[in-house]
């Protein structure tokens, strides 16, 4: 079965510092991987996805993610964090056969001024 | 870009009543709509998958008679929580599937049953 894991419940980073939110996956076959962000009482906003191609994927709001097949990881990164980046981040994998998305447990990012 | 409009954004209802949540895809046709439920500080749990013009497919453990899903058109899917109880209080999110693009999510509905 497809799954994703987000090992950190919360990540704290100082404003201006680089941030990393971790995600590892387990799939059979080639993975379709996604990152979403959720602000309080709001739906999910798409950040980026990896389907195929370059391992470094650039997305919205200056975020990027690196697909690493050998480590089965898809970590979300940003070179310089903003206070406004504080939110809940979800990694997801798409089930190839059904289009269902399986979400990780989420990581709360807190950027400190 | 593609937008899924979800209404209401929040609702408070009394135990025993029913609540309907609507999701409309505004500028694309969502042949498939996914309904998720999110508990506080937890991830999103897929409840059901609805396809336009056919019965919804429910995930294991989800009561289909309690959570009625209708996908009457390519732009509208509804979730009705019937005979709501306090334990149904949660955050519900729909996601419309755009072929080749993936999901576009609604803004969510906070349901509180008192």
- Residue B1 is predicted with a pLDDT of 67
In this complex, the residue of B43, B49, B110 whose CB is nearest that of residue A100 is B49
B59 and B104 Cβ atoms separated by less than 8 Å: no
Residues of chain A in contact with residue B44, where contact means CB-CB under 8 angstroms, are: 44, 90, 103
What CA–CA distance (Å, rounded) separates B24 from B7? 9
Question: A15 falls in which pLDDT band (50, 70, 90)?
Answer: very high
CB contact under 8 A, B93 and A49: no
Mean pLDDT throughout A83-100? 89
Min Cα separation A81/chain B (Å): 23
Structure tokens at A2: 């497809």
**A104 in contact with B at a CB cutoff of 8 Å?**
yes
**A105 in contact with B at a CB cutoff of 8 Å?**
yes
**A97 in contact with B at a CB cutoff of 8 Å?**
no
The answer for residues whose C-beta is within 8 angstroms of residue A53's C-beta and 6 or more apart is none
| Residue B15 burial (CB count, 10 A) | 11
Answer with the residue of higher pLDDT: A111 or A102.
A111
Min Cα separation B111/chain A (Å): 11
Residues of chain A in contact with residue B32, where contact means CB-CB under 8 angstroms, are: 99
Percent share of chain B, pLDDT over 90: 65
Mean pLDDT of chain A: 92
Taking CA–CA distances from B99, the nearest residue in chain A reads A99
pLDDT by residue (tens digit) across B5-54? 999 999 999 999 999 999 999 888 888 899 999 987 778 899 999 988 88
What CA–CA distance (Å, rounded) separates A71 from A67? 9
Mean pLDDT throughout B49-60? 90
Mean pLDDT throughout A57-73? 95
What CA–CA distance (Å, rounded) separates A4 from A13? 23
The tokens 């046709």 sit on which residue? B29
The tokens 């709509």 sit on which residue? B33
Answer with the residue of higher pLDDT: B102 or A103.
A103
Mean pLDDT throughout B66-78? 92
| Residue A27 burial (CB count, 10 A) | 18
């Amino acid at each position: 079965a497809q799954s994703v894991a987000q090992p950190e419940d919360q990540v704290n980073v100082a404003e201006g510092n680089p941030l990393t939110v971790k995600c590892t996956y387990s799939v059979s076959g080639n993975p379709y991987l996604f990152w979403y962000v959720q602000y309080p009482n709001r739906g999910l906003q798409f950040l980026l996805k990896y389907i195929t191609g370059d391992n470094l994927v650039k997305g919205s709001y200056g975020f990027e993610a690196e697909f690493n097949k050998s480590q089965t990881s898809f970590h979300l990164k940003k070179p310089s964090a903003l206070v406004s980046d504080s939110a809940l981040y979800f990694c997801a994998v798409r089930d190839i056969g059904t289009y269902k998305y399986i979400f990780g447990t989420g990581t709360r990012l807190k950027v400190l001024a | 870009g593609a937008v899924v409009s979800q209404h209401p954004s929040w609702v408070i209802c009394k135990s025993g009543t029913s609540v309907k949540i609507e999701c409309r895809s505004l500028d694309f046709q969502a042949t498939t709509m996914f309904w998720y439920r999110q508990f506080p500080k937890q991830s999103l749990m897929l409840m059901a998958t609805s396809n336009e013009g056919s019965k919804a497919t429910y995930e294991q453990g989800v009561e289909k008679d309690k959570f009625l899903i209708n996908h009457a058109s390519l732009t509208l899917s509804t979730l009705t929580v019937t005979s709501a109880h306090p334990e149904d209080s949660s955050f519900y999110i729909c996601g419309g599937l755009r072929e080749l693009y993936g999901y576009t999510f609604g803004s969510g509905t906070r349901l509180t049953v008192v």
